[in-house]
Amino acid sequence: MIRTILSIALLTSFVVATLKADPPSTQKKETTRKSKTVLKVVPATPLTEGWSLVNGIWTHSDGYQFVNGQVMRVGNQTHKKPPKPPTKAEMDAARKKAAAKSHADAAAAKTTDREKNLRQIPASQTGTHL
């Protein structure tokens, strides 16, 4: 929507500029010196390729899963070679990052936050009451 509005505005400004222009003899010399402006089209950023740990299961961007030491295809067949499994370094790094909390830990954290928020704080004693 915004692109169409901007392109229409740009088009009308060019039309108005050409209608108000000087005779072609003087205009020709100036237009050869100026460079044309070209709008750039920036492509969207592609998805990250490779292995990622999702809900405790290693998944690949091509639709493979690493389960019990084997690379398995999930979904339709693409007639591609399966990717290499994740490296030992990737597995160790993911284990160190994602230490899953148990339900008891999550519940305890929630109750401490609730208690902290419900605790009454004394009012400030600044100012005078006249």
Distance CA 89, CA 67 (A): 17
DSSP annotation of 45: P
- For residue 110, the model assigns a pLDDT of 92
- Sign, Cα dihedral of 50, 56, 87, 67: negative
Distance CA 49, CA 100 (A): 24
pTM: 0.38
For the stretch 41-100, pLDDT in tens is: 766 555 567 888 888 888 888 888 888 888 888 877 777 788 888 888 888 887 776 566
Query: Which of 52, 54, 110 lies closest to 83 in space, CA to CA?
Result: 52
For the stretch 47-62, pLDDT in tens is: 567 888 888 888 888 8
Overall average pLDDT of the 22-46 stretch: 60
Q: Exposed, middle or buried by CB within 10 Å (0-12, 13-18, 19+), for 64? A: buried
Distance CA 87, CA 60 (A): 13
